[in-house]
Amino acid sequence: MMKVSAERIDVTQSIYDENDRIAAETWKVLDEKCIFTVNVMGAPGAGKTSSLIHLIQNMPQTRSYVLEGDIESDIDTVKMKGLGIETLQINTYGACHLDAPTVQKALEGLPLSEPGILFIENIGNLVCPAEFMIGEHIKLLVCSVAEGSDKPYKYPLAFEKADMILLTKIDLKAYVDFDEAFFFKGVQALNKDAAVFEVNAKTGEGFDGAAKYLENLASGGTEVKTYP
């Protein structure tokens, strides 16, 4: 988020209000179509794309769709499509997060013909995406052990707002001296509700449980927050 002085707060507030209005519209359309929508957030290189691939492959009975957000490039979309996953690329060309108008516009290009789960992979950024609703049912935070165990303390908003957290690259724990107790203490202090799953995209470890949890949320088997 741009830092603004007091006299510009009205402009900022109106941007937020307009964003939220459009996010609520999008949410309503998606919800009526029975498209459970997941806003996937995380730092650059946290393992968002690899995690989505594993989650989707662990839900063969569920129809999955992906909106792939990147500042530039279509590397992840090419990867997704190569695996037969219905994916649409959004490039923001500079903008540090997806906002509701961008997502609303992009969805015109994704038919979403049957009920299922839509993953919207946000820009790799542990700060700004957490501030903007884009029409999602839940926020999934992807965080890698290689980022260090102090991330909840330094980037609290993303952890606070997450409904579900994937702790990725757990095979690297020993190499990066990841302090598990410190990490979980930080998460717990910010967010008592988010389910945390430890995963390893190299072996697929942990994704079966995460996928089951997500499918359960999507089918309404677990309480799902209504908008917002």
Q: Does 151 bind a second copy (CB under 8 A)?
A: yes
Q: Given candidates 110, 112, 176, 196, which one binds a second copy under the rule CB under 8 A?
A: 176
Rounded to whole angstroms, what are the CA distances from 161 to 29, 95, 140, 156, 177? 23, 21, 9, 9, 26
| Phi and psi at residue 99, to the nearest 5° | -120, 170
Residue among 15 and 112 whose Cβ is closer to a second copy? 15
DSSP H helical ranges for the chain = 9-32, 48-57, 75-82, 100-107, 151-154, 156-161, 180-190, 207-218
- Which tokens in the block code for residue 184? 């979980």
Which residue do the tokens 């997502």 mark? Answer: 103
Q: Of the candidates 21, 45, 83, 105, which one interacts with a second copy according to CB under 8 A?
A: 45
When the beta carbons of 58 and 125 are compared against a second copy, the nearer one is 125
Among 25, 86, 160, 171, binds a second copy (CB under 8 A): 171
Measure CA 192 to chain center: 18
What is the distance between the alpha carbons of residues 17 and 154, in angstroms, rounded to a whole number?
27
- Per-residue mark of binding to a second copy, 52-81 (x: CB under 8 A): ------------------xxxx-x------
Q: Shortest Cβ distance from residue 45 to a second copy (Å)? A: 3
Interface contacts to a second copy, rule CB under 8 A: 1-5, 8, 11-12, 15, 43-45, 70-73, 75, 92, 94-97, 99, 101-102, 123-128, 144, 146-148, 150-151, 153-157, 169, 171-172, 175-176
